[in-house]
Amino acid sequence: MREKNVMKDPWLRDIVPQQKTGQSSFTHSRISCRNNNHAKECFHIAADRLRNVNRWNDFAGKPTAAFQVFDETGNSVYRPVQKNDYMRINIPGPGNPDSDGGDWVQVIELGEKQAEQQQLAFFTVRAASNPMVIATEASHFFDQPATSTFVVYRRQLTIMAAVFGRNEHSNLRTPNIITRIRNWLIYIGAQMGLANLQWKALTHGLLHYNQS
């Protein structure tokens, strides 16, 4: 499925930020359901997993990044993600020297939408500073214009889990040259498809994860 075709859907156009600068990305997985009741059941399961960010590593598989949700004051929380929460990301590979090893984003939008043959759950994050330290610059390998929108969307009997990246730039604002090199290498890796592997594992897991 091409992103150009996906973005013709008005429900998705309304929630995914516009691409203005830098790079963009799109990763998705889909399943087809037997009937309406089955589709609604599968949607609710996947939407619950989408909001259960602390378990994303379980859904995606152990070699992938680990995620932890923090509230606005910097306390770790174990509940569905909410607007204005922070997320710490610990990617496989070199940690962030400017932070506690993690990269930070903040939830700037979150919502749901429902109709008879359509259901949508989503949230959007933006690169952010570490909420537990005094800082103004993003503590993330991408600069602050960058966003990621995480989506579970049912249209009739088809359910899609997707990640839309927008306005992605390497974060070179830090004075630490080691951090700048690290951020640039991760950015290049993302353009080569390494980020797609992470998000493909997640979108697949949101739809297919087996508790057993």
Residue 47's pLDDT is 97
Q: Which two tokens stand for residue 92?
A: 């496989």
The residue with greater pLDDT, 159 or 100, is 159
Lowest mean pLDDT among 39-43, 130-134, 145-149: 130-134
With CA atoms as reference, report the closest residue to 124 among 3, 4, 14, 9: 14
The residue with greater pLDDT, 161 or 2, is 161
Q: Which two tokens stand for residue 128?
A: 């952010």
Residue 95's pLDDT is 57
Residue 185's pLDDT is 63
Residue 168's pLDDT is 77
Angle between helices 36-51 and 194-208 (to 10 degrees): 130
Confidence band of 87 (pLDDT split at 50, 70, 90) = very high
* Residues 43, 48, 53, 58, CA torsion sign: negative
Which of the 8 DSSP states describes residue 53?
G
Exposure string over 30-63, b if 16+ CB within 10 A, otherwise e: ebebeeeeebeebbeebbebbbbbbebbebbeee
Whole-angstrom distance, CA of residue 38 vs CA of residue 35: 5
Residue 103's pLDDT is 81
Q: What is the per-residue pLDDT across 58-76, written as a single tens digit (0 to 9) for each?
A: 999 877 888 999 999 889 9
Q: Is the pLDDT of residue 113 over 70?
A: yes
Under DSSP, is residue 50 helix (H, G, I), strand (E, B) or coil?
A: helix
Q: Quick one: what percent of the chain has pLDDT higher than 70? A: 76
Confidence band of 3 (pLDDT split at 50, 70, 90) = confident
The partner residues of 122 in beta bridges, in order of sequence, read 111, 151
Secondary structure string (H, E, C) spanning 65-91: CEEEEECCCCCECCCCCCCCCEEEEEC
Residue 212's pLDDT is 41
- 55 sits in the region (left: phi over 0; alpha: psi -120 to 50; else beta) called alpha
For the residues 95-102, what does the mean pLDDT come to? 62
Total residues belonging to the chain:
212
Exposure string over 143-182, b if 16+ CB within 10 A, otherwise e: bbbbbbbbbbbbbeeebbbbbbbbbbbbbeebeeeebbeb
Which of the 8 DSSP states describes residue 18?
P
